[in-house]
Amino acid sequence: MRKYVVIGNGVAAAGCIEGIRSTDLNGEITVVSLENHQVYCRPLISYYLENKTSLSKMGYRENDFYEKMNCRVIYGKKVVKIDADLKQVVLDDGETLPYTKICVADGSSPFVPPFEGLESVKNKFSFMTIDDALALEKAVTKKSKVLIIGAGLIGLKCAEGIKDRVSSITVCDLAEHILPSILDYDCAAIMQAHLEENGIKFMLSDTAVKFSKNKAQMRSGKQVDFDVLVLAVGVRPNTELIKNINGQVNRGIVVNDRMETNIQDIYAAGDCAEGNDISLGGKRVLALLPNAYMQGHAAGVNMAGGNEVFDKAIPMNSIGFFGLHAMTAGTYYGEEQGGRLYEEKTDKKLKRLYTKDGFLTGFILIGETERAGIYTALIREKVPLGKVDFDMLQKSATWAAFSKDTRQQKFGGVV
Amino acid sequence: MKRVYVDEKWCLGCHLCEYNCAFANSGLKDMTYLKNKAIYPRIHIEGEGQVSFAVSCRHCVDPICVKSCIASALSKSADGVIKVDQNRCVGCLTCVLVCPYGALMPNEKGVMQKCELCLENACGQPACVSGCPNKAIVYEERGDVL
């Protein structure tokens, strides 16, 4: 009987467990969970603070998920070592778990630069886990002045989540615009203006260089008083377990389309993994929930002896702040890289479609996001634009731009 | 399973399916109450001029919306129907970002809604199908590959 060890207990782990069980009902599955929680919807932690969901609704699966999947879960423990020769993993309490196949799905960790005086700050938080959210919830009051370091997805979702619970929020970032991982300067300006209208203050091209208790000394020379500090500078994939046994690691743990690492019987999935991004034609860490699930599922099926490839991964984000939604996907090639851009822009709406060599490779939509999935599918499926009426598609995402035969196939058949 | 299929050859582009859908899911007693109201149907007519056709959830065999939902609000039931739990949905629109058919749209409150084949409202069978004057929308089995 196969023994599966799943390191981590997030969405990639859930996908892995379901992948294994779709193929092997009998093998022994052990899940090692550092967090003392069943798998939950991690991206909902800001929605929890915003009162848009509750703890009971945040479970990613039913409460009896592990029983149904016939898994043992070890909570509150960390894997400290994979021994690929003895084929066992070692936990921080010394327990060893023998394995036939492993999936490393233990996500990423907040990256905290060494700020001078950070230890003197009492109320400081990361914003990655449900426990982070609960701790932050306890710390803030209607009078709190909050300083968030980092204007990326995590920092800004945190800002939105706590807006109505606090007195003021200032977000600083070394980058010259917000959401640098998904937006460029012009696009970010639209979202920034909207966030400012909703009471969020920004200090961009600036960051804290020194803390002393409730004061931050900024690089610009300004000083910020705060009661609560949120550190959302960035995250780093957890790669040490694989690095320590000389597995291939770039930014994340390198995997192929079957989610295999270069070490026999070891797979990786989710935010710790670096797989193929087909819009880029190269490897990239794609720390997104959909990819985590699909990578995990593929890993699980393959670990159990089946065959599943996940070869359609692309970066994609749907993110809204105070009612204004932005959707982004794929890779934005500039003109110097042979890319072409189609753009429509007004005050609060923006559409950018990036094409290269006759394919849609990426898009940015702000404000108007209807049927965006039609664009996403063009990227994921690498549909040659010669096969569709792209002039029509540029103006509006519609199936009218596809051939009659394709429509007949899709809307007249099982898909 | 039975699904909704469209045949654009017969579609008049009359938008009646949108009204029938909105009414079926409105809980209203009479369709006339929809007059002068913005409607949020779960089926939409696309195209213009010579070409028009209705788009609603395809109830995919391998639904990417379900796999992508960050709130685990979308699920596939044992009989293959893709459903949304509006109580869990946080309106992030990730499903809109991934649905290749553009079949998902939020309701007036920003919460996702989708075609669930009228199985849980009073209709018993899809209202868009019953009300289509030209039989351009049908509800039938068309060979699932098992």
Please answer whether residues B145 and B80 qualify as being in contact, where contact means their C-beta atoms are separated by less than 8 angstroms: no
Please answer whether residues A374 and A394 qualify as being in contact, where contact means their C-beta atoms are separated by less than 8 angstroms: no
Single out the residue of A271, A291, A267 nearest to residue A279, CA to CA.
A291
Beta strands in A34-165 (DSSP E): 71-75, 79-83, 88-91, 96-98, 101-104, 108-110, 124-125, 145-149
Name the amino acid, one letter, at A354: Y
Please answer whether residues A153 and A206 qualify as being in contact, where contact means their C-beta atoms are separated by less than 8 angstroms: no
pLDDT digits (tens, 9 = 90+) for A285-334: 999 999 999 999 999 999 999 999 999 999 999 999 999 999 999 999 99
Average model confidence (pLDDT) across chain B: 93
Average model confidence (pLDDT) across chain A: 97
A318/B93 touch (CB, cutoff 8 Å), yes or no: yes
In CATH terms, A118-233 corresponds, of 3.40.640.10, 3.90.550.10, 3.10.20.740, 3.50.50.60, to 3.50.50.60
pLDDT digits (tens, 9 = 90+) for A209-260: 999 999 999 999 999 999 999 999 999 999 999 999 999 999 999 999 999 9
pLDDT at B146 exceeding the cut of 60: no
Of B70, B97, B101, the CB nearest to A41: B70
CATH fold of B60-114 reads Alpha-Beta Plaits (3.30.70)
For tokens 């809980």, the residue is B27
Over its C-alpha atoms, chain B yields an Rg (Å, rounded) of 15
Tokens of A228: 């609560």
- Which CATH number describes the domain made up of A323-411? 3.30.390.30
pLDDT at B46 exceeding the cut of 80: yes
Single out the residue of B7, B17, B3, B14 nearest to residue B129, CA to CA.
B17
Q: Is residue A240 classed as helix, strand or coil in its secondary structure?
A: helix
pLDDT at A268 exceeding the cut of 90: yes
Please answer whether residues A66 and A73 qualify as being in contact, where contact means their C-beta atoms are separated by less than 8 angstroms: yes
d(CA B58, CA A347): 35
Of B71, B95, B110, the CB nearest to A41: B71
The alpha carbon of residue A81 is apart from the nearest alpha carbon of chain B, in Å, by 31
Sign of CA dihedral A84, A85, A88, A92: negative
- Per the DSSP assignment, residues forming a β-bridge with B105 are B113
pLDDT on residue A190 = 96
The alpha carbon of residue B140 is apart from the nearest alpha carbon of chain A, in Å, by 11
B93, B107, B139, B146, best to mutate vs chain A, most A CBs in 10 Å: B93
B98/A316 touch (CB, cutoff 8 Å), yes or no: yes
Average pLDDT of the segment spanning B61-85: 97
Name the amino acid, one letter, at A96: T
In chain A, the residue whose alpha carbon lies closest to the alpha carbon of B104 is: A371
Superfamily of domain A3-47+55-108+237-303: FAD/NAD(P)-binding domain (3.50.50.60)
Contacts of A412 (CB under 8 A, 6+ apart): B5, B6, B7, B142
A318/B97 touch (CB, cutoff 8 Å), yes or no: yes
Q: Are strands A101-104 and A3-7 parallel, antiparallel or unpaired?
A: parallel
Q: Count of CB atoms within 10 A of residue B108's CB? A: 10
A7 burial type by CB count under 10 A (0-12 exposed, 13-18 middle, 19+ buried):
buried
B102/A370 touch (CB, cutoff 8 Å), yes or no: yes
Of A293, A373, A414, the CB nearest to B102: A373
The alpha carbon of residue A174 is apart from the nearest alpha carbon of chain B, in Å, by 27
d(CA A137, CA A165): 9
d(CA A194, CA A156): 12
pLDDT on residue B144 = 67
pLDDT at B145 exceeding the cut of 60: no
- How far the first Cα of chain A sits from its last, in Å, is 36
Of B60, B88, B104, the CB nearest to A415: B60
Please answer whether residues A39 and A32 qualify as being in contact, where contact means their C-beta atoms are separated by less than 8 angstroms: no
The angle formed by the CA atoms of residues A273, A69 and A261, to the nearest 5 degrees, is 20
pLDDT at A104 exceeding the cut of 80: yes
B44, B90, B115, best to mutate vs chain A, most A CBs in 10 Å: B90
B58/A411 touch (CB, cutoff 8 Å), yes or no: yes
A397/B102 touch (CB, cutoff 8 Å), yes or no: yes
CATH fold of B1-56+115-146 reads Alpha-Beta Plaits (3.30.70)
pLDDT at B124 exceeding the cut of 80: no
Tokens of A346: 């007004």
Of B6, B91, B144, the CB nearest to A411: B6
Average pLDDT of the segment spanning A34-57: 97
- Per the DSSP assignment, residues forming a β-bridge with A148 are A171, A230
| Range(s) of chain A covered by CATH 3.50.50.60 | 3-47+55-108+237-303, 118-233
- DSSP code per residue over A283-328: EEE---HHHHHHHHHHHHHHHTT----------EEEEEETTEEEEE
B100/A374 touch (CB, cutoff 8 Å), yes or no: yes
In chain B, the residue whose alpha carbon lies closest to the alpha carbon of A400 is: B47
Q: Is residue A273 classed as helix, strand or coil in its secondary structure?
A: strand
pLDDT at B28 exceeding the cut of 90: no
d(CA A62, CA A7): 20
Q: How far is CA A340 from CA A78, A282, A326, A394, in A?
A: 47, 20, 21, 12
List of chain B residues whose C-beta atoms are within 8 Å of the C-beta of residue A39? none
Please answer whether residues A80 and A244 qualify as being in contact, where contact means their C-beta atoms are separated by less than 8 angstroms: no
Please answer whether residues A55 and A72 qualify as being in contact, where contact means their C-beta atoms are separated by less than 8 angstroms: no
Single out the residue of A287, A296, A49 nearest to residue A153, CA to CA.
A287
pLDDT on residue A173 = 97
d(CA A285, CA A370): 27
CB crowding B59-78: b at 16 or more within 10 Å, else e: bbeebbbbbbbbbbbbebee
Q: pLDDT-derived band of residue A66, with 50, 70 and 90 as boundaries?
A: very high
- DSSP code per residue over A135-173: HHHHH--TT-EEEEE--SHHHHHHHHHHGGGSSEEEEEE
d(CA A135, CA A140): 9
ipTM confidence score? 0.96
Average pLDDT of the segment spanning A38-55: 98
List of chain A residues whose C-beta atoms are within 8 Å of the C-beta of residue B142? 412-414
pLDDT digits (tens, 9 = 90+) for A157-216: 999 999 999 999 999 999 999 999 999 999 999 999 999 999 999 999 999 999 999 999
Average pLDDT of the segment spanning B93-122: 94
The alpha carbon of residue B100 is apart from the nearest alpha carbon of chain A, in Å, by 5
pLDDT digits (tens, 9 = 90+) for A115-141: 999 999 999 999 999 999 999 999 999
d(CA A142, CA A166): 4
Contacts of B75 (CB under 8 A, 6+ apart): B66, B82, B83, B85
In chain A, the residue whose alpha carbon lies closest to the alpha carbon of B66 is: A290
d(CA B138, CA B135): 6
| Dihedral, B81, B101, B134, B37 alpha carbons, nearest 10 | 90
B96/A41 touch (CB, cutoff 8 Å), yes or no: no
In chain B, the residue whose alpha carbon lies closest to the alpha carbon of A324 is: B92
The alpha carbon of residue B36 is apart from the nearest alpha carbon of chain A, in Å, by 23
Map out the domains of chain B as residue ranges: 1-56+115-146, 60-114
Of B6, B67, B97, the CB nearest to A373: B97
